[in-house]
Structure 1
Amino acid sequence: MDPRIHEHAETLVDWSARIEAGEDVVVSVGEGAHDLAVAVAEELGKRGANPLTTYASEEFSRAYLRVHEGEFDADPDHELALYENADAVLFLGGPRNTTATADVPGETRQAAARAQQGIREARMDTKWVSTVHPTRAGAQQAGMAFEEYRDFVYEAVLRDWESLAEEMTRMKEILDEGSEVRLVKEDTDLTMSIEGRVAVNSAASVEYDSHNLPSGEVFTAPYATEGEVYFDVPMTISSRRVRDVHLTFEGGEVVDHSAAQGEEALTEALETDEGARRLGELGIGMNRGIDRFTDSILFDEKMGDTVHLALGRAYESNFPEGQEEEANDSAVHVDMITDVSEDARLEVDGEVVQRDGTFRWEDGFGDPNEGSEPEP
C-alpha cells in the first residue's frame, strides 16, 4: 500500500476529525475508497474509537432513485438515529463513475434532497469530515493519468496545515472586520454584505469549523447580493457538466441565469426551494498545493487564485452564537467557481485585498488602492 494512504488516514483522524478514545464514528466508504478505509480503520483502532461503516455508492443511489415512486419518507428513523448517536462522520469518497446518476430525473433528485433535510442537519451536528481517495474515475474526470492524479491528490491533502491556518487567519480577520465585499472581473461586478457574519478559517480541521480534507479556503455567508457574476470554471452539478454560468442578483436573489452548457441542471438547482436562489457562501481559495482544475469541487474551490459562491444552504458556523437561525435554509448547496488570476480584484469596504490572485500581504501585490475605483 502506498505509504501516503496511511499519512492521509492519520491526517484525517488526528488533524481533521480530532477523534478521541471512546467516540462513535460512522465511516461512509465510497466504491473505490477501500484502501483508505482500511488505513482509517487502523488509525481508529489505535485511538480506541468505535467505528461503524456504511457503503456510499452512486450506482446504488441511481438504481433506487430511478424506480422509486411516490413520496420519499422524510428523515427515516433508522438513518436519523445513526447520525444522532454518532460523534463523528468520515466520508471517504472514491468514485467508480463520477456521472453515475446523470440520468436520474431532476424532480426526483429535488424530492429526495428535500426529504433528507433532517438527516443532513443531524450529520452536520457531528464532527464530520469529507475527503477523497484517488481513483481512476477521478483521474479521468480531472483529465490526468492515474499516477499523476494520485500525486496531485496527496500534494493537496498532505499540507503543513498549521502554517496554512496561520496565513488564512489574515483573510479571516479582514472579512470579520468588513461590511461589504465587491468582486470585479470580466462580466462580473458583484457586491455582497458580510456585516455581522463570522468568517471560517477552513484549515481542514473541525477545530477550525472546517470539514473538508483537503481544504484551504476562508469562507463566510453573504447576503443582500447585487449585480452580476460570471463563473468560468467548468463544474459538475447533479452528475451533469455545467460551464460558463452567468447569474444576475437583485434584492439578494437570482433573477436571471444562463449557462453555455448544462443550464437545465442549474435551473433545477435554483428551483429546489426558496433558499436556492440566495447565496449561502462566499469562499476564497488559498491552497497553493492545488494547481489545476479537476472538475471536483472538493479540490477546485480551494485552489489559490479562485473565488467561489454557493447557492443555497449557509453554514451556521458563519453566524454569531444565538443567531444561527438567520442562516439561509435550503436543501441544496451548489458551489460555482470563478478564476481571479487575471484582470480581477476582490475588495472589502473599498480596499483591494486581492488582485490578479495575489493577496495584499504577498510579494507582487503593488499599490493596495490601485484599481479600486469603478470602471467608467
Structure 2
Amino acid sequence: MADPRVEKLAEILVDFSIDVQPGDWVVVRSHILALPLLHAVTRRILRAGGNPTAVLSDSQLGEILLRGANDAQLEWISPMERMTLENADALIVLGATDNTRALSGVDPLRQQLQQRARRELMGTYMQRSADGSLRWVGTQYPCPALAQEADMSLDEYEDFVYSTTFADQTDPVQAWREVFNRQQHWVEWLRGRQQIVIKGANAEMTLSIAGRDFINDYGRHNMPAGELFTSPVEDSVNGWVRFSYPAIREGREVEDVEFYFEQGKIVKATARKNEAFLLSQLDADAGARFLGEWAIGTNYRIKRFTKSILYDEKIGGTMHMAVGRGFPEAGSRNISAIHWDFICDMRQQSEIWVDGDLFYKNGEFQV
C-alpha cells in the first residue's frame, strides 16, 4: 500500500515550493530509488498543467565518470545540463542513494577539475534563482542508506522525513506559510543592521552585514526548510570558529574542522580527519576561502544530526556558514565553483549580538 505521505510531499513540492503553472517546463532530477516520489511528483505536475521531464541517475554513475574520464571529458558540459539550467522554468531534485560513500576513494583533484569547469554554469543557476526565472526545490526520499547514516531504522527515518517536511500534516502548505510569518519577523528586525558579533565556546567572530539582505527560507527551495541566511560582506569576517559536526562532501567526511579568518579570508584551516580534502576544496579557486553564506537554523523539529546537510543545516539552535559562492539575492559578490556548508552548535554558552543588541542566546531568539 502506498504511503499517503509521499503524495503529500509531492503536493508540497509542486503546488507550494515551485508553484507549477500551466505550460511550465519542469525538469525533475531523481535517483532511481526515489521512483515512488518521482511518480507522485509527475502526476502532480501534469495536474497543474506543467510539462515534466524526468532525468534519472544512480549512485554509481558519478563514480564511473570521475574514475574513467580523462580531463577533457571531466570538463565537458552536457548540452542537456546547460539547457536545463538556462531554459527550464522549474527544477525539482529528488535525492536518494544506495551508497553514501560512493565517491570517497576518488582523487579530490579530479573532483576539483570537474567543479571548476562548472563554475560559469553554477553562476547561471544562482543568478536565475535570485531573479526568480528558475524556481527550484530539492528534497530527499527516505531510503535505507540515508536511514543508516542517521542511525535510524527505515520506519523511524521515514517518520523523521515526513515530520520535518510537514508531509504528515493535514494541511502542510498552511504549516509552511506559518513558518514564513514567524521567520519574517526576524528578517524585518535584521533589515538595515550593520555588524554581527558571535561569542561562545565554539566561535569568536565578527562579520559585517551592511547592505546585505537576509533571506527567509520557508520551503521555496529546500524541503525541509527552516533557516535565515545571508551573505556577509566579503572582506569583513574576522575571528575563529570550530564546527561541532562533521562536514560531508562528495562522499568524504571531514571532522573537527576549525577556520581562522582575517579580513574575510580563511588564513588557516585544520581538520582531524580528511584535512587534505578540506584544503583541496578551499584551494579550488580564489573565492573558496571566503564566506558565501552565514545562517541560523530554525527547524526545531530537527533535533539530531543525520549526516545529511539538507536536514542538518536547519537544526534549531545551530548556525552554519558556507565557504565559496554567495547568494546574489543577498548582495554577495563572491564567486567560486564551490558552496560547502559547515555547522556549529549554538545551544550552550553562545550569543549572537547585532549592532549591540542581543539577538540570539543558547539556541533561542531573543527578539
What SS does structure 1 have at the residue aligned with 2:272? strand
Q: Distance in 2 between matches of 1:308 and 1:356?
A: 15
Cross-structure match for 1:104: 106
Pick aligned residue for 1:340 from 346, 349, 353: 346
How far, CA to CA, are the matches of 1:112 and 1:355 in structure 2?
A: 41
Cα RMSD between the aligned structures? 1.4
CA–CA separation in structure 1 for the residues paired with 2:230 and 2:189: 11
Please state whether the residue corresponding to 2:292 is helix, strand or coil: strand
Structure 1 residue 217 and structure 2 residue 227: aligned? yes
Alpha-carbon distance, 1:351 to partner: 1.4
Cα deviation for residue 184 of structure 1 reads 1.3
Q: Name 1:262's counterpart in structure 2.
A: 274
1:328 to 331, 334, 345: 334
Give deviations 1:77-115, integer Å, cap 9, x for gaps: 343123322100100001111111111111100110111
Q: 2:206 aligns with which of 155, 172, 191?
A: 191
Structure 1 residues 162-205: Cα deviation after superposition (integer angstroms, max 9, x where no partner): 11111111221233221111111114201110100011001111
Q: Which residue of 2 aligns with 1:132?
A: 140
- The 3-state SS of whatever aligns with 1:213 is coil
Q: Is the 8 A contact 2:21 2:49 kept in 1?
A: yes
Q: Residue 29 of structure 2 aligns to a residue in which SS?
A: strand
* 1:242 alignment partner, one of 224, 239, 254: 254
* Normalised TM-score (structure 1): 0.90
Aligned position for 1:317: 329
- Do the aligned residues in 2 keep the contact of 1:341 with 1:356 (CA within 8 Å)? yes
User: For the Cα contact (< 8 Å) 2:320–2:343, is it kept in 1?
Assistant: yes
Equivalent pairs, count: 350
Shift of 1:74: 4.9
Secondary structure at 1:162 match in 2: helix
C-alpha distance in structure 1 between counterparts of 2:254 and 2:151, whole Å: 16
Contact 1:230 1:338 in 2 (8 A): yes
Give distance in 2, aligned partners of 1:151 and 1:264: 37
Q: How does 1:6-155 map to 2 (within 5 A)?
A: 6-71=7-72, 72-124=74-126, 125=128, 126-155=134-163
Q: Map 1:344-355 to 2 at 5 A.
A: 344-355=350-361
Contact 1:237–1:266 (Cα < 8 Å) also in 2: no
Give identity over the alignment, percent.
Answer: 35
Give the SS at the match of 1:266: helix
Task: Verify the 8 A CA contact 1:13 1:40 in the aligned structure 2.
Answer: yes
| DSSP-derived class of the 1:276 partner | coil
CA distance in 2, matches of 1:349, 1:257: 28
Residue identity matched to 2:150: A
Match of 1:273 in 2: 285
How far apart in 2 are the matches of 1:104 and 1:154? 33
How far apart are 1:327 and its partner, in Å? 1.9
Question: Matched residues in 2 for 1:80 and 1:187: separation?
Answer: 41
- Cα distance in structure 1, aligned partners of 2:301 and 2:244: 21
Say if 1:235 and 1:296, in contact at 8 Å, map to a contact too: no
SS state at 1:274 partner: coil
Identify unmatched segments of 5+ residues in structure 1.
Answer: 206-210, 320-325, 362-376
The one-letter code matched in structure 1 to 2:160 is: F
2-side partners of 1:263 and 1:172: how far apart? 35
Runs of 4+ with >6 A deviation: none
- 2:243 is aligned to 231
Report if the CA contact (8 A) 1:222-1:282 is conserved.
yes
